[in-house]
Structure 1
């Protein structure tokens, strides 16, 4: 995405960020990586609800998750923000729009 996301990627990214819970997740992870249980407490949502939102953000390429073993051998999933940079201008939107996948009517 050096020249910016494609139209389809941009739509997916903006859709993912359009949800207040997902926006709070990204904002929290901007302060550093975190594991699911702690992140759920920080955001104030259940783990199942958090997982649904994390999947959407990960599919959009905004966050990445990785399983790690804790010192006591417990598997913990950590998430962190990816290195994305969205700079929206009318010109950038026009370029992205040219690459949108046509939708069938």
Structure 2
């Protein structure tokens, strides 16, 4: 942010940003978002890609759904999830790309 931007940015903006960073603070949720970047997937496909229990996956998908990060649709007994908020993907890619570069350079801080 440029100088003084924090002083003029309304508090609800920071509140929403903090909420979103809280949602993104769990590695499993980041992995779910990463898996959904390639397109819509049902729960069983996500479980194949991310080794967690089904109840744990459901818990994290529910958080992502309630906060508007993902959307879902039902087809028979299956539920399919997709990215609903592309801005979250941009944030994740920016942060993860930078961290990956740092790791490759051997930096820890």
TM-score w.r.t. length of structure 1:
0.66
Alpha-carbon distance between aligned partners in 1 of 2:40 and 2:34, rounded to the nearest angstrom? 11
Alpha-carbon distance between aligned partners in 2 of 1:84 and 1:7, rounded to the nearest angstrom? 19
Q: Does 1:82 align with 2:89?
A: no
1:41 corresponds in structure 2 to: 48
Where structure 2 has 5 or more consecutive residues not aligned to the other structure, the ranges are 1-11, 92-109
Cα 1:50–1:21 change in 2 (3 A) is same
Tell me the secondary structure at the aligned position of residue 78 of structure 1.
strand
Contact 2:36 2:81 in 1 (8 A): yes
Contact 1:34 1:79 in 2 (8 A): yes
Higher helix share: 2
Runs of 4+ in 1 over 4 A off after TM superposition: none
Task: Name the Cα RMSD after superposition.
Answer: 2.0
Contact 2:68 2:85 in 1 (8 A): no
Where structure 1 has 5 or more consecutive residues not aligned to the other structure, the ranges are 70-74, 89-105
Contact 1:13 1:61 in 2 (8 A): no
Question: What is the 5 A alignment of 1:1-105?
Answer: 6-69=13-76, 75-85=77-87
Deviation at 1:46, TM superposition (A): 1.1
Tell me the secondary structure at the aligned position of residue 86 of structure 2.
coil
